Chains A and B, each alone.
Chain A
Amino acid sequence: MSAHLSYGRVNLNILREAARKELREFLDKCGGSKAIVWDEYLTGPFGLIAQYSLLKEHEVEKMFTLKGGRLPAADVKNIIFFVRPRLELMDIIAENVISEDKMHSPRDFHMLFVPRRSMLCEQRLKEQGVLGSFINIDEYILDLIPYDGDLLSMEDMHIDTTHECYLESDQTSLYHTAKGLMTLQALYGTIPQIFGKGECARHVANMMLRMKREFAGSQTQILPVFDSLLLLDRNVDLLTPLATQLTYEGLIDEVYGITNGYVKLPPEKFSAQKKQGEAGKDLPTEPKKMQLNSAEELYAEIRDKNFNGVGAALSKKAKIISAAFEERHSAKTVGEIKQFVSQLPHMQAARSSLANHTSIAELIKDITTSEAFFDNLTVEQEFMTGVDTDKVNTYIEDCIAQKDPLIKILRLVCMQSVCNNGLKQKLLDYYKREILQTYGYEHMLTLNNLEKTGLLKPQTSTRNNYPTIRKTLKLWMEDANEQNPNDISYVYSGYAPLSIRLTQVLARPGWRSIEEVLKMLPGPHFEERQQLPAGLHKKRQQGENRTTLVFFLGGVTYAEIAALRFLSQMEDGGTEYIIATTKLINGTSWIKSLMDRPEAQS
């Protein structure tokens, strides 16, 4: 189940195991049968830590979703609330507890705050007069959840980072990031070098250093696993998430959206795979839910490829598999047959995995070959190469006129603004007016939010420094090789994500070579060193790679992850990357989190 977490350079299963241990300890603290009442948001991330079977082993008999009114009937001794520390949830819980008390059912209430307990919430429970009803109030520190062998995400458990942190300057999520990094260091040793770029990065680094001071003396004596940490503020690279991702995994996310490692796909394509007996009966109407991670061999192989290279990879794989199946004819001796049979389950799994991904690839291909997709991509690439970024774009105009989805429009307009270092006031007002008239005036607040974060902005200086940045960092590569990539730019078929370029340059030759550009990008850049206890200095073997943890504050896209994996695998790269983030995002989900009333936008 979790084996894939331990294959990477850093065994992230340690983190998962630590989390599981803590969960078991809490459950054992409430003796007897239990029912868990879930804050719905938590079920996804928790699924990555523990399955229902673990809960069941610890006498969890029922699970409910947290909602107002009375709790569903359950013949259990303990009721445990698993919730995020949010005031509105406290009110619901109070309602639950009060109605339960009225029934005089002899139950023990417990509360587990995820990821951290909050005095504010406890105060609220006290005001509601139910704090005393809880036998246990505890916290379950779940900051960084392992999503894959090289990927950790906080999944914005506590707070929507993009919205709260960048719009409301609420630094809660940064505090949790720092705490999460401290937990990580407790398990994997102190990270000797910290680099960073951006306001938030600076803030997190400061908090980390402060926390280290605060906990001086209680450090664990662990040989550091990570050589360095790079904190990147999303604010530094606003462009990348706006662009359409062109890797396989990126496209799945763009089109269908991946949540907590799962994707829901339209069922039609998958119906044929059912067993023949059932096939005729009825077409499945439920979306097909698939888990996507490196535990699946084929997926691990193709996820980070440019979509144009996926077809070839799939057909190659198909040949290998059918050849493997053909071997049965050549198996003559009993021993050979036995060996063949022993491989059969693995081969069958591979075959069904291949069938699934062929179907997904077909679904996506229908979209990528459409004219709309092509036109959109053309405009994106024009912006990224700096073509006519200072003029009204007719494609955007046409899209507005045809009332294409607002988020698509916003992505494009923001992209134009970012690539032009702001739009001329007249142009900006024109776009804004077009959007308000077409989609409704209520979106004024959304536009306001985008302006606050700098995604949309009026051009203040006459000089547009984006071309300089693009040229210095080689953000555009004309001849991106999609099949056999030799540069990270393959993930966007030409555009090399700025964030990853910064990471790449940091590893070699170092940021000193790009001081000028760093100054143009928002926020400070810095380097800090953390003292290691004596005797824990790593002696590097000849040719041994460095391990860098790259932490994206404010989200990271799958294409960026793919680019980092590409860098890790480069033969002469010399650095392997582990990726951590506050949330896994794509342009759509990102813009959505910045909208004022996203629910109003269907």
Chain B
Amino acid sequence: MWASLASHLAYHVTTVINSVCVCVCVCVCVCVCVCVCVCVCVYRKIELYEMGWSLRDGLKECLVAAAPYGGPIALLRQPQRPSSSARPQLEIYSSSGANMASFPWKSGPVRQLGWTVCDDLLCIQEDGTVLIYDLFGAFKRHFSMGNEVVQNQVLEAKVFHSPYGTGVAIVTGASRFTLATNIDDLKLRRLPEVPGLQGAPSCWVVLTQDRQTKVLLANGVDLYILDNTSCTPVVRQTQTTYSLLCLIILALSPLTVCVFQTPPGLSPQACSIVNMAVSFSYKYLALFTDSGHLWMGSANLKDKLSEVDTKVRTPPKQMVWCRRPKSQQPSVVIMWDRLLLVAGECTDTIQYTLDEESVCVAELDGVRIIGGSRHELLQEVPSACQDIFKIASMAPGALLLEAHKEYEKSSQKADEYLREIKEQSVLGEAVRQCVEAAGYEHEPETQKTLLRAASFGKCFLSNYPPEPFVSMCRDLKVLNSVREYTVGIPLTHTQYKQMTVQVLIDRLVYRKLYPLAIEICRYLKTPEYQGVSRVLKHWACCKVQQKEEPDESIAHAVSVKLGEAAGISYSEIAARAYECGRTELAIKLLEFEPRSGEQVPLLLKMKRSQLALSKAIESGDTDLVYTVVTYLKNEMNRGDFFMTLRNQPVALSLYRQFCKHQEQDTLKDLFNQDDDHQELGNFYVKASYKEKKLEARLSLLQSAVDEYNKAKNEFAAKATEEEMKLLRFQRRLDEEKGEALLGLSLQETLHALLTSNFHKQAEQLYRDFRVPDKRYWWLKLTALAEKDDWEEMEKFAKSKKSPIGYLPFVEVCVKQHNKYEAKKYVSKVTPEQKVKAHLAIGDLEGAAEAAIERRSEGEISTVLSRCSPTTDRALLERLNRARSTAAKK
């Protein structure tokens, strides 16, 4: 497959690269350009292609649908004589008439064909079923326009495009409209009933206005606007003023606030509207009446542009708008069996005779006319082209072109022309015109001539920006290569700019023109991510569907071709392979995916959960790991699940986290399985805090002790045992003495006991729990002070030598505002703490004495900082003296 593509590629490489600025492409078509003028506008009809198809009866008896932007053409040929045996033939062609698909139609009768924005073919059947096929006639999917349709049948259908995508509108045998604005996000809307409508309306169109999709329909003389909620008649009042009939609209429905205007200035003799058309942008509306009048105006029916009497009373076969963005005048192309008529703002019209059955396709900037043998483009001649090519034009561009022609001939006239341009200082304008005009020309030779002239003119300009010229050369090169007969996308420059390169690449990809698409991406230097990689991905997705090739070779081919291309999503390709039932291939392809995160969902879908788990872990995305873990949990039995986790520590710790918050019991099982006794111990300890009943709490703690012992954590086991001992002690005391000790810490318990005069019990706890002397002394000291039990304190101080010294005694007394008691202990304080003790009781003299005695500079300073210069002057002097001597030392 790739080999054939490669040869294809080689061909295109030469096409795209062989010239410096403009592609010398051998154009198969012969351009026949006839310019005709109507009012101030000039129109031209260019032949795009000579159709490559061979249709026996032209387009007769065919349902035809051609997509805009040079899209494909679908034909459904009805058998000559409807018999049960003969089936209609569905054929798909490129714009140049190259066959892309052809197969007998086996489903129900088709009412309408249409193309989506993604180049998919919609076949709307009589029973309301819409079948979707791709460009190559492969069935993709189908949907229905509602149950009601099955009975009543579709009378008429239209496919329309809006910013929301491709939509379908139908009218049923019961004269009801149903709309789907976007077939990819199908939401059917049944529009309200139209009063008095029997069967199909005489004509109707779908409009998109103010983000709303509406139907405008004519039933004989009446015009209606149908939206989601209401049907608003566009009422005509026959009130004559001066020469025109003034029509006023009344919005009858109470639900709608907006008032529509009737087509202003529609002539009185107009009775029945037989055809209507909206412009490509939904801005303009054209109405054709049975009196042969054509009314043109804005689609909101507020303004009239013009009215033309075509003098043809037969209802037209087709009517389309023909205008370009920024055009001087809009016009409408009306087609009858043998006649094509262009009507503009003034009463003149242009007429063309048609020699074969044709179909008109509205484009952004013109109308394509597809006939049995030819494919033409009818458009208003852009002003740049007019200026340059008009006979005897003196426009700057025309002069420049002339100058260049003379220059080529080595004639000195070149200089004259140039001089003339320069004198008017319009050389810049001339270059701009030539560049612009080149964009509008289809013939590569003409493009080249214009661009050469522009390039020539540029030489005489010092600061002309190169971008417009360069990008035009690039655009034309791309355009010429896609207009090429074998590709068959007759895009104009205006359309190309509107559609963007991205979409063009997509279209090429839909046509499986991968090499050309890649070549264009490379040529335009589109970032790999959006360009080449995307094309390659599509190619690979297509490749994996080739059933006959073995997995190995496909995987190999894909990896070789895609290689290190940036931003390739292998998982998407793998997903496609999986959809085609090639699981093994999908797994092989996933191996190439650099983003492990991307692999996971598909692996889960394919039930490769173990692999999914390791990929999830690799990605580092914990949410992904959680997802797989939850999946595994539901899928596996508990034992296997735990075993799997055991081999994946990251997943295990995450799962533990999850259990900690959500499933405590599972957490225990996990620890048990791992023989993690330390964590089990912790688990029991934690559980014990949640337990209200003491017995249960104790038994949980006992379990914790056992586990800690198993974990050889002596300290924890012992501490927990102590805790149990304390709890039991507290309970006993609470029961015996009515204290409320339960839950207090050992320290708090002791404190409570000491303050409540349970000295004996306190002593017992002190011994049993081997409370360090120091802490016990502190505790007792504070407890006694808080009770103001100074006598007991004094006894306590004398009971034996204090392990915490006597400064705490001083401080605790001071804290309880008892300086008197505090003084008793000052003398007992060690010399180092003397100063502090004196200061604590506010005895500056004493402090000073002690500090001077110790000859400590720091301490003297401390005392000094407490002295006030007014009251303690003598002391200050002494201290200062002492400090200086201490410092000298």
Q: Specify which chain B residues have a CB less than 8 angstroms from the CB of A213 in the assembled complex.
A: 594
Which chain A residues numbered 417 to 466 have a C-beta less than 8 Å away from chain B? 429, 432-434, 436-442, 444-445, 448
Whether the Cβ atoms of A175 and B657 lie closer than 8 Å is no
Is B747's CB under 8 angstroms from A123's CB? no
By the criterion CB–CB under 8 Å, are A442 and B566 in contact? no
User: What is the CA–CA distance of A175 and B723 in the complex, to the nearest angstrom?
Assistant: 41
User: Does B486 reach chain A (CB closer than 8 Å)?
Assistant: no
Query: Is the beta-carbon distance between B689 and A217 smaller than 8 angstroms?
Result: no
Q: Is the CB of B747 within 8 A of A438?
A: yes
Q: Which residue of A lies closest to B631 (CB)?
A: A123
In the assembled complex, B715 has its CB within 8 A of some CB on chain A: yes
Q: Is the Cβ of B653 less than 8 Å from the Cβ of A175?
A: no
Which of A88, A164, A214, A445 meets B657, CB within 8 Å? A164
Q: Which residue of A lies closest to B623 (CB)?
A: A118
Contacts of B527 in A (CB 8 A): 217
Instruction: Tell whether A516 is near chain B: CB-to-CB under 8 Å.
Output: no
A544 at the interface (CB under 8 A from B): no
Closest chain B residue to A438, Cβ basis: B747
Min CB distance A262 to B, Å, is 30
Interface residues of A in 549-583 (CB under 8 A from B): none
Residues of A within 8 A of B623 (CB): 85, 116, 118-120, 172
Q: Please tell me which stretch of A343-351, A398-406, A535-543 contacts chain B, meaning at least 4 of its Cβ atoms lie within 8 angstroms of it.
A: A398-406
Contact B779 A401 (CB under 8 A): yes
Which candidate, B212-220, B283-291, B768-776, is the interface stretch facing chain A? B768-776
- What's the least CB distance linking A90 to chain B, in Å? 11
- Give B532's nearest chain A residue, CB to CB: A217
**Nearest Cβ distance between residue B284 and chain A, in whole angstroms?**
29
User: Which residue from A164, A401, A439, A445 sits with its C-beta under 8 Å from B745?
Assistant: A439
Residue B703 CB within 8 A of the other chain: no
Encode contact with A along B59-90: 1 for CB under 8 Å, 0 otherwise. Answer: 00000000000000000000000000000000
Cβ of B567 and Cβ of A216 under 8 Å apart? yes
CA distance A444 to B685 in the complex (A): 9
Say yes or no: is A87 at the interface (Cβ < 8 Å to chain B).
Answer: yes
Q: Is the CB of A441 within 8 A of B722?
A: yes
Of chain B, the residue at the smallest CB distance from A215 is B567
Chain B residue at minimal CB-CB distance from A429: B715
Closest to B627 in A: A119
Q: Determine whether the beta carbon of B624 is less than 8 Å from that of A119.
A: yes
Residues on the B chain within 8 Å of A215, using CB: 567
A205 to B708 Cα, complex, angstroms: 38
- Are the CB atoms of B719 and A442 closer together than 8 Å? no
Contact B662 A87 (CB under 8 A): yes
Q: How far is the CA of A207 from the CA of B649 in the complex (A)?
A: 18
Judged by a CB distance under 8 angstroms, whether B686 is at the interface is: yes
Interface flag for A218 (CB, 8 Å) = yes
Docked Cα-Cα span, A336 to B597, in Å, equals 68
- Chain B residues numbered 187-245 whose CB sits less than 8 Å from any CB in chain A: none
B residues near A203, Cβ cutoff 8 Å: 620
B621 within 8 A of A: yes
Complex CA gap A410/B750 in Å reads 22
Residues in A with CB closer than 8 Å to B772 are 397, 434
CB–CB A217/B533 < 8 A: yes
Q: How large is the interface on A (under 10, 10 to 19, 20 to 34, 35 or more residues)?
A: 35 or more
Contacts of B627 in A (CB 8 A): 119-120, 123
- Let me know if A168 is at the binding interface, CB within 8 A: yes
**Is B654 part of the contact surface with A, judged by Cβ < 8 Å?**
yes
Taking CB atoms, residues of chain B closer than 8 Å to A403 are 747
Judge whether B742 is part of the interface by a CB distance below 8 angstroms. Answer: no
A398 to B804, CA, bound (A): 9
- Least CB distance from A83 to B in Å reads 14
Q: In the complex, which residues 80-138 of chain A have their Cβ closer than 8 Å to any Cβ of chain B?
A: 85, 87-88, 116, 118-120, 123
Q: Does A178 lie within 8 Å of B620, measured CB to CB?
A: yes
Bound-state Cα–Cα, A130 to B808, Å = 64
Are A441 and B723 in contact (CB-based, < 8 A)? Answer: yes
How far is it, in angstroms, between the C-alpha of A501 and the C-alpha of B769 when the chains are bound?
Answer: 46
- Asked if A444 and B719 make an inter-chain contact with CB atoms under 8 angstroms apart, the answer reads yes
A388 contacts partner chain B, Cβ-Cβ < 8 Å? no
Complexed CA–CA distance, A175 and B619 (Å): 9
Residue numbers in A under 8 Å from B510 (CB-CB): none
Least CB distance, B664 to chain A, in whole angstroms:
14
Q: How far is the CB of A299 from chain B (nearest CB, A)?
A: 31
A206–B621 CA distance with the chains assembled, in angstroms: 13
Selected from B715, B723, B774, the residue in CB contact (under 8 A) with A401 is: B774
Contact status of A401 and B567, CB under 8 A, knowing A437-B745, A444-B719: no
Give the distance to chain A from B179, nearest Cβ to Cβ, in Å: 21
For chain B, what secondary structure do more than half of its interface residues adopt (helix, strand, loop), or is it mixed? helix
Residues in B with CB closer than 8 Å to A402 are 778, 782
> With A and B bound together, what is the CA distance between A448 and B654 in angstroms?
20
Q: Is A75 an interface residue (CB 8 A)?
A: no
Least CB distance, A242 to chain B, in whole angstroms:
23
B737 within 8 A of A: no
Across-interface contacts of A87 in B (CB, < 8 A): 661-662
Q: Which of B651-708 contact A (CB under 8 A)?
A: 653-654, 656-657, 660-662, 678, 682, 685-686, 689
Q: Is the pair A400, B775 in contact by a Cβ cutoff of 8 Å?
A: yes
Q: Does A365 contact B (CB under 8 A)?
A: no
Nearest-neighbour CB distance to chain A for B519, whole angstroms, equals 19
Are B775 and A397 interface neighbours, CB within 8 A?
Answer: yes
With A168-B653, A217-B533 as contacts: A434 and B594 at CB distance below 8 Å: no
Taking a contact as CB atoms under 8 Å apart, the answer to whether A170 and B747 are in contact is no
With A170-B653, A400-B775, A402-B782 as given contacts, are A433 and B533 in contact (CB-CB < 8 Å)? no
Contact B620–A217 (Cβ < 8 Å): no
Q: Which of B769, B774, B782 has the most CB of A within 10 A?
A: B774
Whether A170 contacts B630 by the Cβ 8 Å rule is no
Q: Which B528-543 residues sit within 8 Å CB-CB of chain A? A: 528-529, 533
Q: A434 to B719, alpha carbons, bound, how many Å?
A: 11
Query: Does B96 reach chain A (CB closer than 8 Å)?
Result: no
B747 touches A439 (CB 8 A): yes
> B595 near A: Cβ within 8 Å?
yes
Nearest CB on B from A237, distance (A):
24
Measured between C-beta atoms, what is the minimum distance from B833 to chain A in Å?
A: 12
Q: Is the CB of A401 within 8 A of B778?
A: yes
Judging by beta carbons under 8 Å apart, are A444 and B747 in contact?
Answer: no
Q: Assess whether B169 is interfacial by the CB under 8 Å rule.
A: no
Of the candidates A172, A175, A216, A445, which one forms a contact with B685 in the assembled complex, judged by CB atoms under 8 Å apart? A445
B-side contacts of A169, CB under 8 Å? 649-650, 653
A338 at interface by CB-CB < 8 Å: no
A70 contacts the other chain (CB 8 A): no
CB distance from B674 to the nearest CB of A (A): 14
Chain A CB within 8 A of B716 CB = yes
B722 to chain A: closest residue by CB? A441
Chain B minimum-CB-distance residue to A216: B566
Q: Answer yes or no: B554 CB below 8 A from chain A CBs.
A: no
Contact residues in A for B528 (Cβ distance below 8 Å): 217
Q: Give chain A residues whose Cβ lies under 8 Å from the Cβ of B661.
A: 87-88
A441/B654 in contact, CB under 8 A? no
Contact at A397–B774, with CB atoms within 8 Å?
yes
Q: Which of B594, B660, B722 touches A216 (beta carbons < 8 Å)?
A: B594
Known pairs A120-B623, A123-B630; A214 contacts B769 (CB<8 A): no
Partner of B656, one of A168, A175, A434, A442: A168
B813, CB-defined interface residue at 8 Å: no
Q: State A394–B709 Cα separation when bound (angstroms).
A: 32
Given contacts A207-B620, A439-B745, A445-B686, 15 further A-B contacts (CB under 8 A): A119-B627, A169-B649, A175-B621, A214-B595, A215-B567, A216-B566, A217-B533, A217-B565, A432-B719, A436-B719, A436-B723, A437-B747, A439-B747, A441-B722, A597-B689
Across the A-B interface, give the 10 residue pairs with the lowest CB-CB distance, nearest first.
Answer: A217-B566, A401-B778, A440-B745, A217-B567, A441-B723, A172-B622, A437-B746, A438-B747, A214-B595, A120-B626
- What are 7 A-B contacts defined by CB distance under 8 Å? A123-B630, A170-B657, A214-B595, A216-B566, A217-B527, A440-B744, A441-B719
Contacts from B to A (Cβ < 8 Å): 527-529, 533, 565-567, 594-595, 597, 619-624, 626-627, 630, 649-650, 653-654, 656-657, 660-662, 678, 682, 685-686, 689, 715-716, 719-720, 722-723, 726, 744-748, 769, 771-772, 774-775, 778-779, 782, 804, 808
